[in-house]
Amino acid sequence: MAIIVATLLLFLAGPFVLWPLLKTPEESLPVSGRTE
Amino acid sequence: MSALVRWGIPAAVVAVCVGYLIYSASGGSTVYYVTVSQLRSQSPAGDVRVAGVVANDVQKSEGGLHVTFTEKDGTDTLPVEYTGTLPDIFQPGITVVAEGRLGKDGVFHAQTLLAKCPSRFSTKPYTQ
Amino acid sequence: MILGYLGAGALLAGLVLGGFSALLSFFAGWRQADVFIQVGRRAFYAAAAMTAIAAVLLEVALLTHDFALAYVVEHTDLATPMALVAAGFYGGQEGSLLYWTLILGALGTASLVTAASLGGRVLAYATGILASILTFFLFVLAVVASPFDLLTITPPDGLGLNPVLRDGGMLIHPPVVLAGFAAFAIPFAFACAALMAGRTDAAWIRHTRRFALLAWSLQSAGLLLGMWWAYHVLGWGGYWSWDPVENVALMPWLATTAYLHSSQVQEKRGRLGNWNFGLVILAFLLVVLGTFIVRSGVVPSVHTFAISAIGPWFLGFLATCVVFSGALLALRIGVAESRPAEAPLVSREGAFMLQNLLLLGVIAVVLWGTILPLVSGMLGTERVVDAPYYQRAAGPIFVFALALMAVGPLLPWRRAGNATWRALRWPIATAAAVAAPLLATGWGWGAIAIGVASGGVATVVTEYARAVRRKPSVLVIKRRRYGAYLAHVGLLVVAVGIAASQFGQQEKDVTLQRGESVTVAGYTLTYTGSEQQQLADHTEYIAAMRFGDTALAPSRATYAGLGGQALTHVAISTTPLADVYVVLAGTNPDGSASLRVLVNPLVTWIWAGGVILILGVVLGNVGEREMAGELARRRIPITLPA
C-alpha cells in the first residue's frame, strides 16, 4: 500500500524534477549555474 | 625558519600538553564499570561502578536521605547502601548505576547513584 | 491508519528521489552536464518536499490521537496536554530522526537555491553530498525505524509521557539541538564539494558561513537550554554532568567555534584553508559519531538508550563518511594553500591558529572521555571516566582559550609591536585585579578563569571605546566584528558564571524538625512545616521554607500508578549573586523533612551570558548582504570562473 502511495507521489514529482530536460532547447539558458 | 617548523612547534607543544593533561587526569579519575559477578570475582581496587536493576526490597530512612536496596544483575544480587538524595525515577524495576566500594560486610557502599532516564529513544515496541 | 500508509509512502518516494538526486548529481558534476545538474537539484528539492509531507502527516496523526500508529501510542495519550502531544513529534527515536531529516531537507534546499554563484561543479557535488546524507536518513526512516508503523489492533489510549518529560524544557531543547546537528551537514557538503571540484578559494566559505553560523547558534542555544532544563527540572543542583549525550553536542560546537574564527583568516589573508576544510569536516563527523553513540547504546549513559536496530546502520554511515572525507583530504589537501604569505607567531593569525589547536585539544579530551568505555570494553574491563577527569584535563585548556580571547582581538595581523603591548595594559590589569582576591579565597583555577575572563571583557570594552572615539558609525558598518565582540562578552559572562558556580558551590544535606533552621554559605533557611496534597494521578508533598522574606516550597510528587516513581520540584530563589536551591528528599512521619540545600553563586550569569551571546550573533549578522560589498572592496577573490 505504501508502495502505491510512493508511486503516485513520484508521478506527481516527476514533471517538476525533469522540467529542465523537457524544456525546448531555445528556452534553456546557455551558461551553467545561472538557472534557478 | 620554514613555515612547517614555525607552526609545527607550537602545535607539538600544545599536543604534548593536552596529552599530558589527559594522561594525568585519567590516572585518578577512571573507574571500572563492572557487573555484579565481575565485582565479586575480580574485587577491583578503588571505586567502581556497578549497574543493575533495583529489586523490591527498597528501605528508606532519614526521610529518604538513606536507602538500602538490592541490585539485580541477571541472577547475581548485590546489597547496596546509599546516603543522599535519590534520583526521581528511583523505584523497583529501574536500572541504576551505583558508584562506590564493596565493603567487607558484603554491602556495596555507594557514593553516587545514577538512574537511567526514562527512555526517549528506545525502540522497544509497544506490545499488545 | 490511512496516515500510516501515506506517511510510509511519502518516505519511500523521498528515498527514491534522494537516491536519484545523489547519483545523478555526482555524475553530472563529473561530466559538467548542466541540465543534469539542474535535474539533480530539483530531485533534492522534491525529496525534501516528501520529507515535509511525511512530517505533516506524523504531526496530524499525533494531534488527532491516531492510535493505529505505534509511535503515537508510545509517546502520547488522551490526557497529555496538546503542546506535549505536538512535541511528541521529535520526542521519540523515529520522530526525532524525521525531524532531523526535515531540517536537513529545508536547510539543504535553502543552501542550494542561493548557491548559484559557486559554479556548476561545486553545486553539483554539494547537491550530491547533501542528497546522499538525506537518502541515508530516509532509508533508515523508511526501512529500519519508521514512525509510521501500524499496530494490528488499535488500542483505545496511548502510553503517555513519563512525568519527568512533561515539562516546557522538553518542548524547546530537543528541537533546537536536533536542528543544530542537522545544520552541520551544510558546510560539510560544500567543503567536500569544493575539494572534489578542486576549488580551494574562499567561495565555499562565503556561501556557507551563514549556515555554519546558524548551526553554531542553534547548538549554542541548545546547549544552554539543556543546561537550564537540567538545572531547573532534574534537581541535582548542577547543569552539566559530562554525560556522553551532552559531550556529543559539545564537540561539534567546539569544532565550529574554531572554524568560525579560522575562516576569517582565509577570507582576509587566504591562509589556513586546509584547517578550515578539516574543521568543517571534523564537526560533521563528530555529529555522526555522536548520533551513533547516542542512539546505539554502546556507551553507558544516564540517558538510557537500548541497543537499537539503527546503531549498526549509523556505524556504517560513520565509516563511509570517514573514508570519504579522509580520502578527499588526503588527495586534495596539497592543492589548498595557494598563498603562503607567512605571518609571525605573535599576530592575529597566530592567535587564530593557536585557538584552533586549543579547541582541538578540548575536543580530544572530551572525545577520549566519551569513547573510553567503548575502547576499554573492547580491550578488557570496561572503564569510565568521572566528572573530575573533564575538569582537570579540559579546564586548563579552556582557561588558555579564555586568555586568547582577551589577547587576540588586540593583536594586529602583522607583527605585534609596542602599540599592542600598550593596549594590553587594561586587560592584564583587570585580570590581575579580579583574580587576586579570588585566589586568596582558594578558588584556584576558578580564580584564574574569572580573572582572565574579566580581562577579556576589558579588551572588548577598549575596542568599543576606540571605535566610538574615532568614528561611532563603524560599529554599524563593521557590525560583524563588533557583534562578535558582544558575543565574546556573552561567552565570557557564561564562563564566569560556570567558574563561580563550580568553585563556589556549597551544599548540605539535613533533616529538619518544624521550626528548625540550617545555614549554608551565609543563607539561613527555616523549615516551617509540610503539607500533603492528593491530585488526580499523584500525591504531592510540599515543604514550606523561609529565608528572610522569601518563601520557598520544594515539593516531591509520587505517582502511585507508576510504581511510586517520584518527581522533585526544586525550589530556587534566584538573585544575581547566587541561587539558593532546595530539594525535598522526603518527609517523615514525625513531621520533619529531609532536604538538600545548595548555594550556587552566579548561576544566573550563565543564562544572561547566553542571551548576550545570541544577541551579539544576531546584531552582528543583520543584513549580511552588505558584507559582500565590503569584501569586494578589499579585493579578495571570492569566486573563480566556474
Cβ neighbours for A14, distance < 8 A, ≥ 6 positions apart: none
Is C405's pLDDT higher than 60?
A: yes
ipTM above 0.85, yes or no: no
CB atoms within 10 A of CB A15: 9
Lowest-pLDDT choice from C136-150, C329-343, C488-502, C583-597: C329-343
Is B19's pLDDT higher than 80?
A: yes
**pLDDT of the residue at A12:** 93
pLDDT tens by residue, C60-111:
999 999 999 999 998 888 888 888 899 889 988 899 999 999 999 999 999 9
pTM of the full structure? 0.88
Task: State how beta strands B48-54 and B59-61 pair.
Answer: unpaired
Mean pLDDT score, C277-296: 92
Mean pLDDT score, C451-456: 92
**pLDDT of the residue at C334:** 65
**Residue C297: left if φ>0, alpha if ψ -120 to 50, beta else—which one?**
left
pLDDT tens by residue, C125-147:
999 999 999 999 999 999 999 99
Question: Do C113 and A10 make contact, defined as CB atoms within 8 angstroms?
Answer: no
**pLDDT of the residue at C562:** 66
pLDDT tens by residue, C507-537:
888 888 888 888 888 888 888 888 888 887 7
Contact between B54 and B91 (Cβ < 8 Å): yes
Rounded Cα distance between C561 and C54, Å, is: 35
Percent of chain C with pLDDT over 90: 45
**pLDDT of the residue at C341:** 60
Lowest-pLDDT choice from C139-148, C277-286, C366-375: C366-375
pLDDT tens by residue, C415-429:
777 778 888 888 888
Lowest-pLDDT choice from B28-32, C543-547, C615-619: B28-32
Rounded Cα distance between C518 and C180, Å, is: 44
CATH code of B31-115, in short, is 2.40.50.140
Rounded Cα distance between C132 and B3, Å, is: 38
Which residue, C464, C457, C436, is CA-closest to C448? C436
Q: What is the mean pLDDT of chain C?
A: 87
Task: State how beta strands B108-115 and B95-102 pair.
Answer: antiparallel
List the domain boundaries for chain B.
Answer: 1-30, 31-115
Which residue in C9, C39, C41 is closest to A9 by CB distance?
C9
Question: Do C585 and B85 make contact, defined as CB atoms within 8 angstroms?
Answer: yes
Is C628's pLDDT higher than 60?
A: no
pLDDT tens by residue, C196-219:
988 877 788 888 888 999 999 999
**pLDDT of the residue at B119:** 52
**pLDDT of the residue at A22:** 82
**pLDDT of the residue at C365:** 92
Is C156's pLDDT higher than 80?
A: yes
Question: Do C566 and B88 make contact, defined as CB atoms within 8 angstroms?
Answer: yes
pLDDT tens by residue, A1-36:
889 999 999 999 999 999 888 876 655 455 544 444
Which residue in C96, C358, C386 is closest to B31 by CB distance?
C386
Q: Is C516 on the interface with B (CB under 8 A)?
A: no
Contact between C137 and C97 (Cβ < 8 Å): yes
Rounded Cα distance between A35 and C124, Å, is: 13
**A-C C-beta contacts closer than 8 Å:** 80
Confidence of residue C271 (pLDDT cuts 50, 70, 90): confident
Interface of A with C (CB under 8 A): 1-10, 13, 16-21, 28, 32-36
**pLDDT of the residue at C278:** 92
Is C632's pLDDT higher than 60?
A: no
